[in-house]
Amino acid sequence: MKRKQRSHPPAKVVRELEIIRELRAVLAEKLISPEAAAPFIGVSSREVRRWADGVSVPTIKSRGLIIQGIKKIKKVL
């Protein structure tokens, strides 16, 4: 029996990519570094850099922190 090939990535993966894409866009738009964004998100600057560089994928908890951090950055800067 042949396996079906997925035509689209799972929704979870798409959402992860959207969050990282938005994080990168905010960093570029506001001209801030991952180090400057880290306090807004509540994680280490190393972790923000790893997400922005595509080295690691944020956990579910971290994705929530990123969303809240992006809102704070947009409000303050």
| Predicted local confidence at residue 20, as pLDDT | 94
Averaged over 6-11, what is the pLDDT? Answer: 67
Q: Which residues contact 76 (CB under 8 A, 6 or more apart)?
A: 40
Tens digits of residue pLDDT in 16-43: 889 999 999 999 999 999 999 999 999 9
Class of domain 11-76 as given by CATH: mainly alpha
pLDDT at 2 over 90: no
pTM over 0.85: no
Measured between alpha carbons, how far is 61 from 25 in angstroms, rounded to an integer? 21
pLDDT at 52 over 70: yes
